[in-house]
Amino acid sequence: MNNTHAEDYQMITNRIDRRNFFRTSSAAALALASVGMPGIGQGQQAEKPLKVGFIGVGGRGTVLLRLAMQLDWVEIPAICDINERNLGRAQRLVERRGQPLPAGYGDGPEDFRRMLEERDDLDAVIIGTPWVWHVPMCLAAMEAGVYTGVEVPAAQDIDECWQLVETCEKTGTPLMMLENYAYFRSAMMVMNLLDQGLFGELLHCAVGYQKDERGVRIGPNGELSFYAEARSKFDGNLYPTHAIGPAAWAMGINRGDRFDYLVSVSSRSVQTEKLIKDRFGPDHPAAKIDFVAGDINTSIIRTAGGSTVTVYYDTQSPRPWDPILRFQGDKGIFMGSIDKIYIEGISQANRAYEDAGPYYEKYDHPLWKKWGSLDVAHLGRGVSDFLAVQQFLEAARRKAPTPLNVYDAVAWSALTPLSIESVARGSAPAKFPEFSGGRWQEKQDRIYYGI
């Protein structure tokens, strides 16, 4: 950069001011705000545009970029990606929306640090890179004092989880994992029923990440994606947050309850090796790899408050997509797989399921009532993806707590290392760390912005 000394000084001063804005809020204030105290963070919306940087604009990152640009108060001044084609495409997308061409950062895998260090104009950053980069990028963004939104999972092991928690608490910078399944229409309708007291207390959930991904993670010449490589090293639930997100949010995890322990068991591994041999032959190098991850993993979680969750992970079977989304309250049950519901005292027939359609009409979540008709079905998971991005950016716009916080990010991500531990120990219980320092015990309302 060819700045004068005065410009350098002003840039550094602005950056320090932004960091200190968060740090001077005490750790106690962060702890209370980040778990979502009722009424906190409903502050004034800023009139000026929210300036958002993007790190990683491949397939998934580009979806997040397009979703952010649905909001006319968002500006994209900077984009980072080491793939020149991805970077150029993303810059042109922004320019075609009538904004100035964003500055590009692509000089090696660590160039995200330069973007975060030298820019004083970023209010938020969205990270859409492969998993292995999530934690270092989140740490750098929080250290820079920039609202941090990250794709799933936020972390890969317990040490990384603690790094996120400690940095978030130290800097006071909010972090939100952009879990789209938490914003599914069906899950949010159940949360609306819970908010209104019609569903009773939530006692059990059954959820899953279940879809046929057998060929998705293997390249045209048999090369393994980072996801497929993980299946050769670890046996457990390797992608848990889509499944656990809706259940945890509905159950009030980190808002009056917490995950206590889990037990996990896996089937044998069959499909990955079979697919590689069928497609590339038994002599292909990938056919000689021992894929240790079982085709189907099942974990059962018990919370400190005595509720339970069954979490299925099944991506290697010939099957349709099914997130299950069974919510069992002490007043009723919702069965997401068949989209049916029964609520005692409300359902017309005694102990008979009803179609959920009329319930969506009457109890649709306010966020879905407001945004459900938005034309984004072609972008990822459509409106649920949009809501995850929009709610994060709305929090940044208001300088308010994010609806999902760092404690959610690590509790949900921790299922992977804990399920691996449990499977390796013969399905012995694996305890969840107490990430929040006891703050989970205070009951908090869920945060929804703009309703």
CATH number, domain with residue 251: 3.30.360.10
Q: Which residues pair with 150 in a beta bridge?
A: 127, 177
**Per-residue tokens: 272:** 């990955």
Per-residue pLDDT at 348: 87
| Shared domain check, 156 and 267 | no
Per-residue pLDDT at 43: 46
Task: Among 160, 181, 202, give the residue marking a domain's end.
Answer: 181
Per-residue pLDDT at 45: 55
Domain annotation covers residue 290: yes
Q: For the whole model, what pTM was predicted?
A: 0.91
Look at residues 239, 298, 233 and name the one whose alpha carbon lies nearest to residue 267: 298
* Cα–Cα distance for residue pair 436/164, rounded to 1 Å: 12
| Shared domain check, 345 and 233 | yes
Task: Among 181, 206, 227, give the residue marking a domain's end.
Answer: 181
| Shared domain check, 410 and 358 | yes
| Shared domain check, 189 and 172 | no
| Shared domain check, 198 and 175 | no
Range of the domain at 118: 5-181
Angle between helices 27-34 and 158-171 (to 10 degrees): 120
| Shared domain check, 247 and 111 | no
Listed in sequence order, the residues at least 6 apart from 171 whose beta carbon sits closer than 8 Å to its beta carbon are: 19, 22, 23, 142, 143, 145
* Cα–Cα distance for residue pair 187/209, rounded to 1 Å: 14
Per-residue pLDDT at 1: 39
Per-residue pLDDT at 135: 99
Per-residue pLDDT at 217: 82
| CATH code of the domain covering residue 81 | 3.40.50.720
Give Cα 221 distance to the centre of its chain. Answer: 31
| Shared domain check, 142 and 53 | yes
Using one digit for the tens of pLDDT, what is the confidence trace for 192-221? Answer: 999 999 999 999 999 999 999 988 889 999
Specify burial of residue 421 (Cβ count, 10 A radius: 0-12, 13-18, 19+).
middle
Residue 93 φ/ψ, nearest 5 degrees: -60, -45
Report residues of the chain scoring pLDDT below 50. Answer: 1-16, 21, 23-44
Per-residue pLDDT at 36: 39
How many structural domains is the chain composed of?
2
Q: Are 445 and 32 in contact (CB under 8 A)?
A: no
| Shared domain check, 206 and 173 | no
